[in-house]
Structures are given as structure tokens and as C-alpha cells.
Structure 1
Amino acid sequence: MAGGKLTPRQKMVNLMYLVFIAMMALNMSKEVLSAFGLMNEKFESSNKDAQSNNEALYATLASKAGENAAQYGEAKKVADQVQKVSADFYAYIESLKVDITKEIEKVDGKLPYEAMDKGDKIDETWFSGDGYSKKGQEVVAAIDKYRTEMAALLAGNPKFVSVIRDVNAKFATADVKDREGVTKKFLDYHYKGFPAIASLTKLSAMQNDVETIEAAIYSAALGKAAEDAASYSNYAAIVVLDKNAYFQGEAVTGKVVLGRYDAKTVPTSVSVNGGSVSMENGQAVLKIGAGSIGEHEINGNFVFKESGKDITIPIKGQYVVVPQPKDATISADKMNSVYRGVDNPMTVSFAGVSANDVSATAPGAWKKSGDGKYNWNVTSVSGDKAKISVTAKLPGGKTATSVKEFNVRPIPAPVAELRGKINSGKGNKNDLLNSTIRVAFPDFVFDVKTQVTSFELSVPGSSTLVVQGDKFNGAAQALINKAKRGDVITINNVKCTLIGVPGYTVKGSAPFAWEVQ
């Protein structure tokens, strides 16, 4: 169109072509502005859903902390601070959005996106010359405050390393180089000279980042608390002697075991009363001299390796050396306490007295299964203590009676189990959709048969759904299908009943986190 001598007709054609190009550019500009507006609507809708999901995750963590402060208390403290810092910064961003739009008249309740092509409000308020105004400095300071406070709250915990990295990346306010290599201040690069609708959308996106990070922290906190509960540092050593009273000069025999033990639970070392002992099938075999008449203590340590560090579990116990039978020896075959909902195998004996001359009674369902062997079901026993009364016929026709008190405990809360995994797993959505929800009692020594009755399903961006039964129904499958790769789906509060024990209620399970691949 340039150079040469053009005819009047060619000049007219060229002019019309230029007008056509200008009209296309004008229409494209309006389409871009509308696109920003629609994107802002999606961000704001997603933010509302994210807030609801975060409230549900926080409520779950708070509930767990109320039920088990030792396991979830520290995670709850972190969540409390994260919730406040996130809410304060989210509200501040919202105030910036209000400032941008308060003088713009809405049409049918909506912002006129195509008319929001100017950025005068931000340009005049956030900037002064080549630098920031007082308001611009305030905006940068608010972003920096959120970033540093969140990093400080999560520091020192390896579970939050990726979250801290995300916070530092998404809320960095350092200078930025543009495509031409020119260094610009943070706000200049992202907001100066931009249309108002573009700046509004960027602020909504920043709010979305806040909600996403908050959700990641809550999910990690729940997982971290469950992982800590399985740590060796939370186990207790139990001294189980063959009998509790010994004659003077007799060898004290028995076992020192962990609350949960098997052949794979092998410590680095075990020491008892200053000497080392051998291990057999996950048990420390104990054999020491009984000593003089009176009480004696058993002290020592299990030492395990965990994450490259030595974890020491103290061994504490005691026994009594007596000159003649005066008291009964009563021990639970599996644990020191008795549990509701199951038959607790019990061994009852009286030192120096034949099993035929020993009888025992207890509240609840108490059944004899052999010489000195009983099954005790305390499901119907009220309170948290129960006593066994033992009567023995001593030589010479006299009788002796002894009473032993036990702690009555509920069955511990189970953990959710999917596809043979507990606490967490990962795979595609079809793997999850075809799974059956079960529960497991990994730290419980009894074989418990259960039937899952309901569970809670949480998918990022959606409200928590309560599902009846042990499989995903249509609503649950639709919710799972919304998840994207990298999302963490949580199955929580799995409820179940004990097969063969009607009326007994088991606590809801710890959460199970499924990462979508």
C-alpha cells in the first residue's frame, strides 16, 4: 500500500482496508476484556467453593484434636494460625477489589467488562512518578507480610517444604524483567497501565492462591498427625512376666515387648538392668535373678533407628519376690487393659496353688475356657474400671481372696483402608472409583471384623459429601470425576459396626488421602 503512484480507486481500497483492520482490532479488544471478566467470575466462584472446602477440612482437624489432643493438638495449633493469616490477607485483597470497582456502575447486577478498559484508578492510587505511592507501598507490604508469616509458621516441618516453596514463588514481590530485558518493579510489571478488569482478575487469582495454599496445609497437617501416631516414639514398652510374684532364689522369667510387635520389629539394641538381652520374634527374652524378698524394678531401653536418628523407648516394670503364696497373679493374654467389643483372653493363677483350687469371677460376660483360662467380654460393663475377684483354697483348708482392677477401654479408632493401603495412596480416578472402603486396626492386637456403614468424601473445590455404605455412589463418583491430576481427595470419618456385636459404636476413622495421578 506504500510507494508508487496509486489510482483514486486503489487509494479508496487501501483506506477501506485500514478501516477494516482498525475495526477488527477494536472488536478483539472488547472480546479480550469480556474474556477477563468471565475469567474473574470463574475465579470468584472457585474461591467460594475453596472456602467451603477449607472450612470442612479445618472442622475435621478441630474435631480430631478434640478427640485426640495428643495426636492432633499441634497440627490444630498450626491450622489456627494459618486460618487467621489467610483470612486477614484474603480480606485485604477483597478491599483492593472493592476500591477498583466502587465507582463503576453495574449493569443488571454485573460489571460492564467491555467498559473497564482503563486502569486510571490503580495508576493514580498505587504509583507516584517512577515509584510507589503510599498505597502502593502498603500493597507490597501486605503481600510480603503474608509470605513471611506463612513461611515462619511452616518452617522446620519437612511435610510443608513444598508449600513454603509455593508460597515464596506465588507471592514474591521482587523486581521483574519484561520480555525486552527491562527491569521493572513488581507492581509496575503486573498492574501499571493494565485495564481495570485485568487487574481485578489478577487479584481474584491471588485470592485463589491463598485458598489453595490453605487447603494444602490442612491436608498435610492431617496426614502429618496420622503419620506421627504411627511413629516408634509413640510406642510404649510392656513388661510381661510369666508370673508377678516369685519365691526367693527363683529366676524371674518373662518377656519385654512393645505395644505392637512382630518379627519385623527389630530394635538396634535392647538393654535391661544394665545388661543386653537377645531378641526372638520381636520379643526381648528376659532372664534375671529374682533377688531378695521385696519389690524390684526392671529398667532398660529399646533403641530404634528412625529417619537416621536413634529413638529410645524406655522399659519400665517391677516385680515382687515373696516368701510364700499371698496374692493372685492375673495377666491379660494380649494386653494389660481389656477392651469392649471383643473377648479378652485372661489367665488367672494363684502362686503355689493348683488351678483346680482357684476360681475367679468378674462383671460382664466371664467364661472359663480351660485350667486358669478365661474369656472376658466387658462390652456391657459401665465405667472405665472393672475388677476380677479370685479365690484360692490354700493348704490346710484356709482360703485367700484377691481382687485386681483393670482399665476398661474402647476399641481404638480405625484407619481408612483402600486397595490394601492405609493413611494414603495414589493412582488414577478409576482406581479410586472402583475401590471398596474398609477400615483397619494396625496397632490393635485383636482380630476385629467390621462392616463399613458410611464415610465422608472431600474433593478439592467441592463441599464434603457423606456417602452411605462402603462404595462410592453416583453423587460420589460425579464428585471424584471433577478432580484433576495432582488433587488430593480425602476419605474421612469412616463409620463401621462390629460384626457379631450389635449396638457397639466404633469411633470414626482417621483420614485417607488419595493423590490423583
Structure 2
Amino acid sequence: MALPKEPRQKMINLMYLVLTALLALNVSAEILNAFKTVNNSLDTSNQMIDQKNQTLFKSFQEKLNQADTKDKAAIWWPKAQKAKELADNMYNYIETLKEELKKASGYNPPKDTTFKEDDLEATSRLMVEEKKGNELRQKLEQFKKDLLAIDTSFAEQYATTLPLDLSIPKSATSDAAKKDWAYAYFNMTPTIAGITILSKFQNDVKNSEARAVEYFHTQVGAVKMVFDTYVPLIGQSAQYLMPGQELDVTAGIGAFNKESRPTITIDGAAVPLQPDGTGLYKTTVGGPGSYVKKLHISYFNQATGKEESKDIDIKYTVGSPTGANVSADATRVLYIGVANPLTVIGGSGVGDEKVSVSISQGSLTKTGPGHYEAQVTTPGEATITVNDGKNVTPFKFRVKTIPDPVAKVGNSKGGRMPLNEFKAMAGVRADLENFIFENLKYNVLSYTFIATGKAFSERPGISVNNGAVFNSETRALIDKLGPNSTVLIDMIKVEGPNGVTTLPPISFYLY
């Protein structure tokens, strides 16, 4: 700032500089970090909304190729594409504003990728003085108008509930803020706060797009499934039996639709489907011992109209030439942080007292005749060696860490949820899904609760929650939630057998 020669004006300008410096000093590191946390959470929420929209667009493509739905899909598909085009253009424009704001605060890539987060002048200069804020509001108003104009029935339903409120914040107190939208949002705002406000509008745009695409998708209707393939399903209890043993045979008919084929994985690897819709998996078995294969099948349930899944454990035993055997009572994997139960059998017909067992890492504790608990420490492999006095037989086990749990509210991992159902929930929990040790518990230590919607048009509602149960501050935000609100639960810290870990965020659209 150039200082004028006139003493009085010079003094005013000097006082302004001092005041600005004091304001900058008052923007504490805690406040700046809070803005960064909210901004990161909004970015995560935008990515999750994108994933949801991609799923809907993929379903649209499928409906365009199905005889029962292609005519309706051909009507609504262009409208969904138009909504995406409008949202992408608006989102990208806001992204350019964020880049301009960072550059005005010292961002100079690739030489310098940092910027002055607490700069109080850059946001005011760009958004207020250079009128970019008013330009933003005009573009957002036009986006909302164009989105509602895509379809009259959509406009009738969402004209007043679209999550894009462009009114001046009620918290505005000065005359200038009450009259000027850009001034109310951006005047004397730290750069990181300005970026967070822009991210909030990007989130509103993405949510508006999601409402439109979901509405257009529902107009197509569900696909009527027809069973056109039948396959005999036969299973037997064993292929090799001894005299006197019982043979069990199960038989039935499986009915399929060729256009609705299941997705099958075994131990996480995809299984190719045969023409009749069944999967064929082949593998060469390893060393002696008991094993478990994890089978997961996803399919469309015609009765419920929903995608469903089933998980099944396929257990088998590989014999040993010596007759000795070590089986993990839960699975052929040893997990770090828990006591893994084992059953050990000597192979020479000797008593348990003559069998010695050792492990290559961690420790073994005998809990009874032929029964042990293994504690392991390092991921990779562990060898358990059985010595019955005549033969020494090694058994190899994989060693893994316990998988991270999944954050849930009630039984939901996120997505659409009735508003009243969400309000009835007590808090956040961490659940180990489909894990062999059923009694393992994870304690939720803390999380950040972020609410957006009509009741939070000025700024998102934010609460830092310690413990699993919604605290009074979070509960107050929940009470304000209305239809078409969005909740993001981020920075979820939980503690389990392997210590403290942070889980991915979960988000909910409440209707």
C-alpha cells in the first residue's frame, strides 16, 4: 500500500495496517485447522456424491439396453446428462475461483505449492472488490434456474427444497453485509475460510445434481425380471467314504435370468461365470491342514427389488502323509492381536503327552489336550512344527493384521436413510463385518459430525464428538435436520486389538 503525503490520511492508513495485522493475529491456528478439516470433509463428501451419481448413470446405461425399460430410459437419460453438464460447468467455475484465491495468497506452483491461509485481504479483494462474489451468485442462480427447467415435474417437487440457498446469511449484522451477498460471505475472511465457503457451494451443486439424477432415474422404473434359465444344483457330503459312513446328497433347481447374472468372489478374487450363470473355481491345494475359502455372492433379489449378497465359508482339509495335523479352529490364517485357537493331532498314534508343538514367531499356549492358542506378531507367515517322537511335520500359516472395522450408524454404512430413522439413532459404532472372531470389539473414540441442508444454509453444522454416543452438541444439529439434508461423519477414530486407527468417512442423504 502506497502511503499518501497528507499526514491525516497517512495516519488513517497506518491505523488500517495495524488493525489488519491485529486481525491476522486473532485468526488462531485452531480456527484455521477447523476450516481445513471442514474443507477436507466437504471434498470427501463431493467424491462420495460423485460415486453415487456414477452408479446411477451406470444403471441408466443398463436400462437403455433392456427391452422393458429402454423407451422410458431414452426419455429421462438426456435429462440426467443435462443435469450433469450443468453441474460440471458450475463446479469447475468454482474450482477456478479457488485457484485464483490461492494464487492471490501466494500460491505459485510448481515452484511454491503453499499459500498464506490466514490472509485477510486476498478474499476481500477478489470476491468483493473485484466483484467475483456477485458473479458467483449470478452463476449459481442461473444454475439453479437451468436445473429446474430441465423437467417441469422435477421443478414442482424440488423448487423450494433444492439444497442451494442463495439468500444473505441471517448472521449478517452490518448494513453492508445485509445488502451485499458477496460482502456477507467473503469480506475480511481468511483465505482458507474463503476456500471452505467455495467448497460448500460446490457441495450444494453436487447435491443438487444428485437430486436431479436420482429423480430422473426413478421415473424409468424397476426392471421386471423373467426366469429363463434353469440349472440342477447338486451337492454331496463327501466323495470318499469308509464303510459305515453316511452319505448326504442335496438336490434342487436354480432359476436364473441371463440379464441378471451374479457376481461371485472367492477370497476376494473374481470367479468367472459359465453360460448357465454358475461360477467355476479351481485351485491347487497346499500343505496339510484345515482350510477355509471365503465365498461372496452378490445378486439381484426379484422379490425385494434390491441388490443383496451372501457370504459362505467353504471348509476343507488336506491330509498329511504322516497323519499329523494342525488346524486353526477359526481359519487357516493367524491374526495379530488375538488368541488364535488351534487343534493339534499327532500322526503316529501316540498320546498327547508325547506331542511337542512349536511356532516360528510369537508364542503358543496349551489350553488343553490337543488344544493351543497362538499369539503372532509379524505379518507374513508362521510355521507350526509338530513333533510326535517319530515324525517332525511343519505346517505353514499366513499371518495377517485384523482388518479395519466399518463405521455405521445403526446398521447402515451410509447412503439414503429416512430422516426419522436417523434421528432415532444413538451414535456411531464400528463393526467387523464377516470376520471369523465374532467377539472382537472396537471402541469409537471420536468423530466429526457435519450437517448440511436447508437448516444450515449459511454454513454447515459442525460438532466434534468424543465417544460413540451423539453428544448434546451433535444431538442439537440432528434435531435441526430436515428432509433432503446431508450428514457426513468424518475423522472417525476407533480403538481395537491393534491400537487406534482412523476409518473412512460415511455420509447419509436423509429423506
TM-score of the superposed pair, with normalisation by structure 1: 0.43
Structure showing greater Rg? 1
